[in-house]
Each structure stands twice: as C-alpha cells, then as structure tokens.
Chain A
Amino acid sequence: MNLWHFLAAHRAEVVQLSLEHLFLVAVSTGIAILIGVPLGIALTRRPALSKPILGFANIMQTVPSLALFGFLIPLNIYLFHVRIIGGIGARTAIAALALYALLPIIRNTFTGINGVDPAIREAGRGLGMTDRQLLLQVEVPLALGVIVAGIRVATVIAVGTATIAAAIDAGGLGRYIFRGLRMNDNTLILAGAVPAALLALAADFLLGAVEHSFGRGRRRLNRRHAVAALGAVVVAVVAIVVFTLHSGASRRIAVGSKDFTEQVILGEIVAQTIESRTGLPVERRFDLGGNLAHDALVAGEIDSYVEYTGTALTAILKLPPISDAREVYRRVKAEYAARFHVEWLEPLGFNNTFAILVRGQDASKLGLKTIGDIAKYAPKWRAGFGQDFVSRPDGYEGFVRAYGLKFAEVREMDLSLTYRALADGQVDVIAGNSTDGLIARLGLMQLDDDRHYFPPYDAVPVAREETLKRYPELRAALAALGGAISLEEMRRMNFAVDGEKRAPRDVADEFLRRKKLGGGG
C-alpha cells in the first residue's frame, strides 16, 4: 500500500492524530509564551539574572526528550489541586515540550527588547513615560518581530519533538512513526512523518508572515491585538486544565504496554481478558517507550502490564544476571513486592530471550547452527544491535566475552531497524527477540545459545498490589492466562501483526477465542 492510499483510507485517523499533534504543540508553546515572554522582559530589567536563566533554558534544550520524559513521569506537581506535571500522557509531554520551547522565546524577547535603539528608549523616558508605558508602548511593539521569530523557532521545534510524545502515550503523529518502526513498515512511518513535516512547514510559513508584518515596525500593539493574543493564550491554558482534569477523572483499570508489537498484543490480551472476565472498564495506555511502562506502573498511572523476568532483574532492579528461570522469577517477585508494592502473577508460558540472528542463506552456506560457529567469521562481520542490547548488563559486553567474539564493526541502532538492516545486507548479525514474527518473514536464522549465556525472559503480568486488593476479581482473571501462550503461538501472533498487518486487537481476540479464554474487546 503506498502512502497516498494509506492516507486516503485512514483520513479520519490522520486528521485525529494531526489534531492531537497540534494540540500538544499549541498548548506547550502557549505555556512557553506565557512564561518565556514575561521572563525575557524581566531579564531586561534585571540583567544579572540573564546568565543563570538563559543557562538553564540552554541546558533544558540539550536534554534528550526520552530522558526528560523519564525524569518528569515520577513527579507529582500540583497547581490548585490539578496535577500539572507527572505521569504518562499529554500532561507530561506538554510540560517537556514547553521546557524545550522556552529558550528561543526567552532569548528572543531579551535580545529583541535590548535591541531597541537606545535613542528611542531615551526619547520615551525624556517625554515622561513610566517604565511600564515605555515597555508596552515602545519596547515590546518594536521587539515584536524578534519575539515572534523566537516563537516561530519554538513552534517548529515543538512540531518535531512532539512526535516523540507518542512514547509516553501522549498521542499525535508520532504514533504512526513508532508503530511503523515497530512493524518495519515504511508507509506507516511516512504517514506520520510527512504530515508532521507539513505541519512544521505550515507553522513556519504562518508565523513567518506574522513576524514579517511586525518586523517592519508598521503595526503596533494596539489594545485589540493585545487582548486577542492574550485571549488565545488563556484559552489554550484553560484547555489544558480541562484536559488534565478530564484525564484523571474516571477510575478504570489502566493496562499498559511497552512500545513493540508483542507488548501491544499482550496488552490487548490482558485488557480483553479483564474486560470479559471482570466487566471492569479498561483503559489502554500502550506504546510506552524505554522503561516508561515500569515508571508509569510505580507512579500509579497504569495498573498492570506484561514484564519479562530477565528485564526486571537486570535493567530495573540492577541485579546481576541469573540463568535459572525459577530462581529469577522468585527473586523479582520478592524484590518487586518489597520495593514497589507490585505483584508478579502467573508466567504466561513463553520466554522472549535474545535471539542471535543471521541471514538464512549465510547459515546454510557457512553451516552455522550455534553462536559458537560464528566466532571465526566475526572479525569480518558487521553487527547491528539495539541500544537496549548494547547497554544492558546481560547484553553485548557479556555476550562477546562469553563467546570470545570480536566484530569488525558494531553499529548501534533502533532494535526495529536491525532486522531490515540484516535482511538488506547492511549488517551480518543482529540480536533480535526470539518471539519476533520477522524472523520467519525475512528468512532469518536463529543461532542456538549453546553456552546458555542469555538469562531467561519469561513474560509475566505484573500489577499494583493496591489495585489487586481493591478488585480481587482481577487476580483471578489474570491467573487464567498462566501458561496459556507458547513460544510458537507468540511468534505466530507477532507475525500476524508485523507480517500480515493485522490489528493487535483482532489478533488478541482471535487467540483468546481459540483458547476458549474468552475475548471480545
């Protein structure tokens, strides 16, 4: 399916995501204007403050967005009983985007006002204008072109950065991009990226026109303009307050997932099981990037998601890897209860461990069966690993040590891109997931972990103790999933979504019906 057909077929959804995107950008930039312009003006009156404040705004801009999200999610900051920062969703995305937008707005307000011809300022003072009159009637109107230029830069940055907001379930066009990356689907990636780029161009053009009309010094800030501008910003702020109140209003069971296909399918399976077995309304907060699902669970933003024992042990608890599956389960169950008040329920039945993959034709040509077999080819091979694999303690470093491997080159890239890179011959070996549907689709071969290096990654639903206590029927519903999904079944479901482009919701429903576990989401 090409991009045009896709956009035509999903018109309503594209419009919806674009509106979500615009909402994120408009509210965050509006907040940044409300804070940044007065702050920039204050700095012209107290120049001693300009260094620390501009320095802070500068640093904020350099913080990677996922790291900033991870930092903001556990926070609980309230303003008049309304939570303004913290948790997953639009609230935190807006806070992060507003922080990014601050620098250009503060800086341009500051330099714009300082750039007003001193003779004009002195004339104003000499005529008997108060500082306030000078500011509002002379300095701000003359600096308006420069201030709007700052807002323009901030807006264009926000349009781009807002795509990442999909990683914390804040919506927007980033959903298509993340989904496309996950499913290895270029059309889907473009369906997110192209409208986002068009939004950025449109915002740039519109604000450029506004900037131009002010920049010539032709117009001045008359009362009507000022009231209209202020009104627009106030409406934006009211919108976020309403939005924030609304999102925290109703009590449902919130089921989360990480940001890859298997997780979304498992999220659906958990959600549909809860729906059909308990009748409780379920809110789906899927596609949470990095360890954000864990952060969200501990913060009480979600009630349950599916975690892997090995991931919990090493990446979250930071404990050394253990190879015995039952021992790992016992350990994480005890630690989570003590540290997070989170309970590990029954394992689902499959182990999603790292799969060392090569192209099928290489495997048959060179007779590769186990990881040990590649040792002699490795010095001429390029390896492609996900950021996750490279950084975790049970990942790359221990892996090459255990098998005595030395690659010609190691390329670090997004996990979802490694399969395509391997199939296209850009790299020769990757570390994928054993349950990945793409393994079969792209004709890849999984090598046997004959030295048992990789620890077990049994998939297990985790849930907040508090929620389980309040809804005892939840425990029974989740227990029904114990041992219900085999590795083969998981691979098939992954392939149904990644390979056959079917909706995770339908795949989950079909699975639950076939296993007579219920279903019907």
Chain B
Amino acid sequence: MIMNGQSTAIEFQGAGFRLPDGRALLTGLELNIARGETLVLLGRSGSGKTTTLKLINRLLDPTQGRVLVDGKPTTEWDPIRLRRRIGYVIQEVGLFPHFTIEENVAVVPRLEGWDDERIHNRVRELLDLVGLDPARFATRYPRELSGGQRQRVGVARALAADPPIMLLDEPFGALDPITRREIQEEFRSLQRRLGKTMAFVTHDVGEAFLLASRIALLKDGRIVLLGRPADFLASRDPEVVAFVSCLRSPAEIVAAP
C-alpha cells in the first residue's frame, strides 16, 4: 500500500458523480494513474470523460467514493493548492483575451508570487518548448494567433509552474486534421522529455493510440475497458469494436463495398 502510494499519482476508489437532479454522470470508477503515465480517457460525448478530469482537480467533488491525489483524498486538499499542482488545458483553450501571450503563460507563476525575472525567463523557455518564437509571440494577444498557436500557448500555460500532474481535456479537438497531427507528434516528444503524469481526454481513437500508455474507455459513466492499446485490438466488446473500427486505413475504406 505504501509502495502503491509512491508509484500511484491519482487513484479513483469507487468514485461517482451525480447531478443535484439525480442524473448520474459517473458511477463506481476504479482507476489508478501511475506516476509518469499518460492515461487517455476515451469515449463518446457525454460518457463522463470530462467529469472524471474535474474530480481530479476538485472542480467537482465526488458524490460517491473518493479520489486520491498523491495519496490524499481531494476533499482534504485545499482546492487552490491542489489546482496549482495540476496543469489544466481545456477544449476551448480558455486563454484570457485581455492578457498578452506572455501574461497568459505567466498566470500561475504570478499567482505563486515568483519574481519578474524568473517569470520572464520561464515564459521564454516555455514558448520555445512549445515551438513559438518568444520574440514574435510574447506581446501578442490571443485573438492574433491561429487555433494551433493558441493551443500551444494553452499547453505552455498549464506547464508554467512545472506541475507534476497535467490534465488535458480534448486539447487538440478544434484543430484542422493536419495541424492536429503535427501538434500531436510534438506533444508526444514533449511528453517523453517531461515525464509528467497525464490524464488526457479525447474522443479520437487515433489520438488515444498515439499518446496513451493506457486507455480507459468510458460509456455512460462506467469503464468498459482499461488497458494498453494492444488490449483494445483484441477486445470483442461492441463499444470497443465500434471505436477501433474508426482506425481503418484509407486502403480499407476505399476497398469497402
């Protein structure tokens, strides 16, 4: 158990979430995310993926069971301290439109009270890391950037205070397919260099296979299958099959009757 506590970053113990009107979004979730692992939460819209993420950084509290971060239930964490240890990238990016790129990336370091010099250097470092030239982009505003560039800023902002855990909610969902593929490749190499614990939500099975150490497939708020990509190809579960069939190659699609 102690060993487990050291190697497990996030642990769901029978965690569930129910809306005040009684609708269950998530039921009896049992799931461990190991340190340095990228766990992809896969599923259709409304399957409970985003709810799962929000239970980790306490944007929601479980109505059933509990969620442990670094061995401590989230309900015992101060939500502000907890969130500053966890990088968060959301689907619509959520950059602050009245902040420059530099100011956006600097939000958490500034909240943490870093000095200006350190913040300045960190912002430059991060923009380089996500492939944006600081000299060109630091003083611009979000609306002056393309979707892909904004998404990179979103990742840089989440990484700013070097949090051990990253939550990513369909971060590349709104990009065109080519930009998306480029950014996925870059993200994969970033992932290897940084070695962070990541929970990554997507409904794109290709993205899941590309980035995941393990995949949890959710349906109607429950886990259908939890395993490595290879386990998915072997499964006969209809929901798994439905997702895997999306992976067909262009040749197969053309050949189909």
Q: Which residues of A contact B (CB under 8 A)?
A: 117, 119-120, 122-130, 133, 137-138, 141-142, 217-220
Docked CA distance A117–B141 (Å):
17
B84 to nearest A CB, angstroms? 4
Q: Apart from A129-B111, A141-B98, what 14 extra A-B contacts exist at CB < 8 Å?
A: A120-B94, A122-B59, A123-B90, A124-B96, A126-B59, A126-B90, A126-B94, A127-B83, A128-B81, A128-B84, A128-B86, A133-B111, A217-B98, A220-B98
Q: Point out the residues of chain A lying under 8 angstroms from B97, CB to CB.
A: 120, 142, 217
Q: Point out the residues of chain B lying under 8 angstroms from A218, CB to CB.
A: 98, 141
Docked CA distance A482–B124 (Å):
91
Does B99 make an interface contact (CB < 8 A)? yes
- Please provide the chain B residues from 88 to 113 with a CB less than 8 Å away from any CB of chain A in the complex: 88, 90-99, 107-108, 111
Does B52 make an interface contact (CB < 8 A)? no
- B88 in complex: contacting residue of A123, A142, A217, CB < 8 Å: A123
Q: A119-B90, A130-B80, A218-B141 are in contact. Are A125 and B95 (CB under 8 A)?
A: no
Q: Point out the residues of chain A lying under 8 angstroms from B57, CB to CB.
A: 126
Docked CA distance A123–B160 (Å):
14
Does B152 make an interface contact (CB < 8 A)? no
Q: Which residues of B contact A (CB under 8 A)?
A: 57, 59, 79-84, 86, 88, 90-99, 107-108, 111, 141, 157-158, 167
Docked CA distance A126–B107 (Å):
12
A141 to nearest B CB, angstroms? 5
Q: Could you write out 30 A-B pairs with CB less than 8 Å apart?
A: A117-B92, A119-B92, A119-B94, A120-B94, A120-B97, A122-B59, A122-B94, A124-B94, A124-B96, A125-B83, A126-B57, A126-B83, A126-B88, A126-B90, A126-B94, A127-B83, A127-B88, A127-B108, A127-B158, A128-B82, A128-B83, A128-B108, A128-B111, A129-B111, A133-B111, A138-B96, A142-B97, A142-B98, A217-B97, A219-B98
Q: Point out the residues of chain B lying under 8 angstroms from A124, CB to CB.
A: 94, 96
Task: For A221, give the chain B residue with the smallest CB separation.
Answer: B98
Q: Point out the residues of chain B lying under 8 angstroms from A138, CB to CB.
A: 96
- B80 in complex: contacting residue of A120, A122, A128, A217, CB < 8 Å: A128
Docked CA distance A274–B92 (Å):
77
Q: Point out the residues of chain A lying under 8 angstroms from B92, CB to CB.
A: 117, 119
Query: Judging by beta carbons under 8 Å apart, are B88 and A119 in contact?
Result: no
Docked CA distance A128–B167 (Å):
13
Task: For B100, give the chain A residue with the smallest CB separation.
Answer: A220
Q: Point out the residues of chain B lying under 8 angstroms from A220, CB to CB.
A: 98-99
Q: Point out the residues of chain B lying under 8 angstroms from A129, CB to CB.
A: 80, 107, 111
Query: Judging by beta carbons under 8 Å apart, are B98 and A122 in contact?
Result: no
Q: A130-B80, A218-B141, A220-B99 are in contact. Are A123 and B111 (CB under 8 A)?
A: no
Docked CA distance A119–B171 (Å):
13
Docked CA distance A218–B139 (Å):
12
Q: A128-B84, A128-B108, A130-B80 are in contact. Are A123 and B98 (CB under 8 A)?
A: no
Query: Judging by beta carbons under 8 Å apart, are A125 and B108 in contact?
Result: no
Q: Point out the residues of chain A lying under 8 angstroms from B80, CB to CB.
A: 128-130
Q: Point out the residues of chain A lying under 8 angstroms from B96, CB to CB.
A: 120, 123-124, 137-138, 142
Docked CA distance A128–B77 (Å):
12
B165 to nearest A CB, angstroms? 12
B80 to nearest A CB, angstroms? 5
Give the 8 A-B residue pairs with the shortest CB-CB distance, closest first: A123-B94, A128-B83, A126-B88, A128-B84, A119-B92, A220-B98, A217-B97, A217-B98
Query: Judging by beta carbons under 8 Å apart, are A119 and B91 in contact?
Result: yes
Docked CA distance A117–B59 (Å):
17
Docked CA distance A496–B76 (Å):
85
A214 to nearest B CB, angstroms? 9
Q: Point out the residues of chain B lying under 8 angstroms from A117, CB to CB.
A: 92, 94
Q: Point out the residues of chain A lying under 8 angstroms from B99, CB to CB.
A: 220
Residue from B57, B107, B108, B141 with most neighbouring chain A CB atoms (10 Å): B107
Docked CA distance A141–B141 (Å):
15
Task: For B91, give the chain A residue with the smallest CB separation.
Answer: A119
A457 to nearest B CB, angstroms? 65
A316 to nearest B CB, angstroms? 58
Docked CA distance A128–B112 (Å):
10
Residue from A120, A128, A130 with most neighbouring chain B CB atoms (10 Å): A128
Docked CA distance A127–B80 (Å):
8
Docked CA distance A219–B141 (Å):
11
Docked CA distance A138–B94 (Å):
11
Task: For A120, give the chain B residue with the smallest CB separation.
Answer: B94
Q: Point out the residues of chain B lying under 8 angstroms from A120, CB to CB.
A: 94-97
Docked CA distance A416–B123 (Å):
72
Q: Point out the residues of chain A lying under 8 angstroms from B94, CB to CB.
A: 117, 119-120, 122-124, 126
Docked CA distance A290–B65 (Å):
71
A90 to nearest B CB, angstroms? 38
Docked CA distance A125–B141 (Å):
21
A28 to nearest B CB, angstroms? 30
Query: Judging by beta carbons under 8 Å apart, are A123 and B95 in contact?
Result: yes
